[in-house]
Structure 1
Amino acid sequence: MVTKNFFFSNNLIELSKKAAILEKDEEFELINDWRDNKTPKSLQKILNSYLRLAVSYARKYSSYGLPIDDLIHEGVLGIMHALEKFDTSKDFRLSTYASWWIRASIQDYILKNWSVVRTGSTASQKALFFNLKKIKQQINDVSREFMGQEEINKVSNMLNVKSIEVQNMESRLTGGDLHLNQKVDNETENDLNEFIS
């Protein structure tokens, strides 16, 4: 049975290390049992076995400042989505198929929760959000905070997005969110909220 402790445990990483790796035949049998009979024990075994894959992807995306447990939970939701669509008649493992769903679920969660202001969710916006930092390091002088127009054009061409989108995303990633109770400057007691009418 899928227990509350499975989803709310602080020890998800430890649990993932201890879980048995399923053989292909057992995996397919459990998947079919879950799909046909909704047997909780089968689901629990599958989720335990593939938790390490969710943990692996969650760790890759942990630099976005969101709790690792939340990212792991999103990965588990990706596994469950993959389970619903997985075709056992094909000759490949669930891990191959589930990897895409785990990554997509975690990325969607990050995009929705990374900032108070929603970030674009098109494929090109996702690529820009998740690759801009890495590409900047490859083509930019790391001592500079912002890219020049030449670097912006390179990134724009590499990711097939408009230059203005690169500039906007860079500003969002570098600047972060502003809080309305944030002081305008050190000399006055005014905060941003006072300037909004």
Structure 2
Amino acid sequence: MMQDSAGRNFVRAAMRAPYLQRDEEHDLACRWKEKHDQQALHRITLAHMRLVIAMAARFRTFGLPVSDLVQEGHVGLLEAAARFEPEREVRFSTYATWWIRASMQDYILRNWSIVRGGTSSAQKALFFNLRRLRARLANGSEPLSNDALYHEVSVALGVSEKDVAMMDSRLSGPDSSLNAPLADESGSAERQDFLVDDEPLPDEIVGETIDLQRRADWLRTALSALNDRELRIIEQRRLTDEGATLEELGSVLGISKERVRQIEVRALEKLKAALVEQNPEFLARAA
């Protein structure tokens, strides 16, 4: 209750703060920039807090406390005051608006969802404009399908339709905790219990990689036991994605396809013998 009362008093004080004339504003900005006059800074920021409050009201639809938005906007206001250059003859309110909006938008993006989003300028534009554009397009003469809507929004904001669909999905509902219980008889099941990953475990991937490398080394060593013709037949028949036929190899080597088959069988026997001789554990692993 005290916080609500303090917040209302703050808003009333901000709305009662007098507007600054152009010359007065310029003088205060110079005093702050050149002499770091804290009183001048206070008067500038107080006179523009109504701008912060108005901006916070525009962003209240994102479901975050308006008081927090006002605080973030005040941070942006102070940043604008620190960077403002009075010699450029630009009104402070015009310059500060960008910093106030940027500070609030950054706060919304950081706190609206536990999933970080809107990291690029295009995604930020999509996040803050999708609802407005969707509402405007929905008020047309004919209702649009989702595909047509996504196309129109993507053209308007210069983003892909896939990004529009993804952002629309994110904005359509709140975050759900993976530890949230599900309504069942046991009462102990959680959402994460039903997220099954069919991929192998990391230790299985590492083990398989090591085994594949070891087998490749075994095969490379065993192939040295073959003569040139046997090696060529084995490579063409067994070690390519599309193995050559017996007839194709027979035509290339100038022998019959039956002779190619016989050489292949003999070469496979030699390979097996070489593998067993060099690696006695091969038979156990092969089994």
Give the alignment's Cα RMSD to 1 decimal.
Answer: 2.4
Distance, in Å, in 2 between the alignment partners of 1:56 and 1:132 is: 21
Q: Deviations over 1:82-127 (max 9, x none)?
A: 1122121122210111111111111111111111111122111111
Distance, in Å, in 2 between the alignment partners of 1:107 and 1:188 is: 43
| Greater Cα radius of gyration, structure 1 or 2 | 2
| TM-score, reference length from structure 2 | 0.60
Distance, in Å, in 2 between the alignment partners of 1:27 and 1:52 is: 16
Aligned twin of 1:92: 90
> Structure 1 pair 33/154, CA: closer, same or farther in 2 (3 Å)?
same
CA contact (8 A) 1:10 1:69 kept: no
Aligned twin of 1:67: 65
Aligned twin of 1:175: 173
Aligned twin of 1:191: 190
Within the candidate set 18, 41, 44, 1:43 is matched to 41
How much does 1:183 deviate? 2.8
> Structure 1 pair 173/82, CA: closer, same or farther in 2 (3 Å)?
same
How much does 1:166 deviate? 0.6
Aligned twin of 2:224: none
Number of residue pairs aligned between Structure 1 and Structure 2: 188
Distance, in Å, in 2 between the alignment partners of 1:51 and 1:184 is: 46
> Structure 1 pair 141/27, CA: closer, same or farther in 2 (3 Å)?
closer
Distance, in Å, in 2 between the alignment partners of 1:166 and 1:109 is: 22
Gaps of 5+ in 2: 1-5, 197-287
| 1:90 partner letter | R
Q: SS in structure 2 opposite 1:110? A: helix
Distance, in Å, in 2 between the alignment partners of 1:168 and 1:186 is: 30
> Structure 1 pair 125/29, CA: closer, same or farther in 2 (3 Å)?
same
Within the candidate set 128, 132, 135, 1:134 is matched to 132
Aligned twin of 2:76: 78
> Structure 1 pair 91/170, CA: closer, same or farther in 2 (3 Å)?
same
How much does 1:147 deviate? 5.5
CA contact (8 A) 2:180 2:191 kept: yes
Using the aligned pairs only, state the percent identity: 36
> Structure 1 pair 184/84, CA: closer, same or farther in 2 (3 Å)?
same
How much does 1:39 deviate? 2.2
| 2:190 partner letter | D
How much does 1:185 deviate? 4.2
| TM-score, reference length from structure 1 | 0.85
Aligned twin of 2:255: none
Aligned twin of 2:12: 14
> Structure 1 pair 176/147, CA: closer, same or farther in 2 (3 Å)?
farther
CA contact (8 A) 2:41 2:81 kept: no
The more displaced of 176-185 and 127-136 is 176-185
Distance, in Å, in 1 between the alignment partners of 2:152 and 2:181 is: 37
